Amino acid sequence: MPDDSLLHFEDMPPGTTFPLGPKHVTADEIIAFAMEYDAQPMHLDAEAGRQSILGGLAASGWHSCAMMMRMMTDSYLLRTAAEGAPGVDYVKWKKPVLAGDVLSGETRVLDSRVSQSRPGIGIVSLRHELRNQKGDTVLESENPVMIRLRDPGSTNA
């Protein structure tokens, strides 16, 4: 039986939007992520960041993606009957994410369809955008996510 407390495929038609953030990005977490996964100087050291084309202590692009994922889980994914994602269509790191930035934005459902290969699963195409406190878009991405159908019989018909 579907869990009525969860969002299912039928609850996310195209045009549905979910807010992301706000998320305050600290120097400590930029450096912690970089030490584990991306120890390039501009992600570890403020002076090295200022001397780079990023202009300051800047989050690894993959850290920005991970922070976006956290905002997605906090906003909607943990209350969604989600079954993971096959990948990412693209990520654009449009501006540096710098220590002290406050990120917010939204996910919008662009498209949705029932899976032909996986019974009971629908696929929603999501577009994510994050902006900083100045209103500059820092990250854009699209990716498909698999969501269980509440009622596979009727939607498949």
Residues that bind its own copies (CB under 8 A): 33, 36-40, 42, 52-54, 58, 60-63, 65-67, 69-70, 73, 77-78, 82-94, 118, 146
* CB 38 to its own copies: min, Å: 5
* CB 151 to its own copies: min, Å: 19
* CB 75 to its own copies: min, Å: 13
Identify which of residues 148 and 150 has a Cβ nearer to its own copies in the complex. 148
* CB 108 to its own copies: min, Å: 19
Identify which of residues 33 and 150 has a Cβ nearer to its own copies in the complex. 33
Identify which of residues 70 and 108 has a Cβ nearer to its own copies in the complex. 70
Long-range contacts of 23-27 (CB under 8 A, 24+ apart): 23/67, 23/70, 23/71, 23/102, 23/103, 23/104, 24/100, 24/101, 24/102, 25/59, 25/67, 25/97, 25/98, 25/99, 25/100, 25/101, 25/102, 25/103, 26/99, 26/100, 27/57, 27/99, 27/100
